[in-house]
């Protein structure tokens, strides 16, 4: 942790104040209910720009639910109620009604590659076309830049018109990342993006994530502790809907403050 970092305890969550880093996402006292059932309890944390923030914790602890609050994906689920505040670039995202704009700014990559049954090119061009971009040259440029950004251009440049579904799982996941990049987001949310991939594809996606953080703020849910340790700057440990500990990843994995964090990362439960 930087010498200047100050820790402040607030409502069960740990806030990290880092004066030299821009706060991209600021979450305060966030509660979420699925109907009567509360899934998130008073979460407060800051996510910093151009960093990778990992969300870890046992199954059902609320990691994906929390991730989905950051681009209002939970709005699509009936009976969800949210209290508290999430600011992105100082804007309260639950007060801003332009959800489409929010989801452009905050892209998402899911656990399983969810490509459309169309060509590689059309998958990546889909979002920009939906935004009204028709110019062929412009679209070509976006597709190429996005595929380069997702470190898959060299592998697919000669078969852009082939079906995206013919690619390997790892390639498909990188096309999903290219598809997210094509929307020019600031933030990319990733929900266990490598859990369906073999070790080599996982490594490629991890390398990609590390390289991407210079351009994006990345929040990733992972069950893979080594992955969190390898690629993230900060880690939040969730348990039963609460953030138990949030800190520099190196600190979480070498000297956690809370016994429950230690028990989890040493494999004693979960």
* Contact (CB, 8 A) for 51 and 236: no
| Least CB distance to ligand ATP at residue 244 (A) | 13
Q: Is 76 in the site for ligand ATP (CB under 6 A)?
A: no
The CA distance from 93 to 96, in Å, is: 5
Q: Which of 24, 48, 63, 179 binds ligand ATP (CB under 6 A)?
A: 63
Name the residue nearer to ligand ATP (CB basis): 152 or 243.
Answer: 243
* Contact (CB, 8 A) for 153 and 192: no
Q: Is 222 in the site for ligand ATP (CB under 6 A)?
A: no
Name the residue nearer to ligand ATP (CB basis): 63 or 174.
Answer: 63
Q: Which of 4, 17, 60, 226 binds ligand ATP (CB under 6 A)?
A: 60
Q: Is 34 in the site for ligand ATP (CB under 6 A)?
A: yes
| Least CB distance to ligand ATP at residue 166 (A) | 29
Q: Is 72 in the site for ligand ATP (CB under 6 A)?
A: no
Q: Is 62 in the site for ligand ATP (CB under 6 A)?
A: yes
Give the number of residues in contact with ligand ATP, rule: CB under 6 A.
Answer: 12
| Least CB distance to ligand ATP at residue 197 (A) | 16
Q: Which residues bind ligand ATP (CB under 6 A)?
A: 34, 37, 39, 57, 59-65, 77
């Amino acid at each position: 942790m930087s010498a200047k970092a100050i820790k402040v305890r607030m409502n069960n969550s740990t806030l990290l104040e880092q004066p030299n880093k821009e706060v991209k996402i600021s979450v305060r006292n966030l509660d979420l209910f699925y109907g009567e059932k509360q899934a998130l309890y008073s979460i407060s944390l800051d996510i910093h720009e151009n960093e990778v923030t990992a969300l870890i914790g046992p199954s059902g602890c609320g990691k994906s639910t929390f991730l989905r609050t950051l681009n209002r994906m939970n709005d699509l689920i009936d009976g969800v109620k949210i209290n508290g505040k999430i600011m992105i670039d100082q804007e309260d995202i639950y007060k801003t009604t332009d959800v489409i704009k929010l989801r452009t700014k905050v892209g998402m990559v899911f656990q399983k590659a969810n490509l459309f049954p169309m060509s590689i090119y059309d998958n990546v061009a889909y979002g920009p076309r939906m935004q009204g971009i028709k110019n062929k040259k412009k679209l070509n440029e976006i597709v190429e830049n996005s595929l380069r950004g997702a470190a898959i251009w060299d592998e697919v440049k000669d078969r852009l018109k082939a079906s995206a579904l013919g690619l390997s799982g790892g390639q498909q996941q990188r096309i999903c990342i290219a598809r997210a990049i094509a929307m020019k987001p600031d933030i990319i949310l990733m929900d266990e993006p490598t859990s369906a991939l073999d070790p080599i594809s996982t490594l490629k996606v991890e390398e990609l994530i590390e390289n991407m953080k210079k351009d994006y703020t990345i929040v990733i849910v992972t069950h893979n502790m080594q992955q969190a340790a390898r690629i993230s700057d900060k880690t939040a440990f969730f348990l039963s809907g609460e953030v138990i500990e949030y800190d520099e990843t190196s600190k979480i994995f070498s000297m956690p403050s809370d016994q429950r964090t230690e028990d989890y990362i040493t494999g004693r439960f979960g």
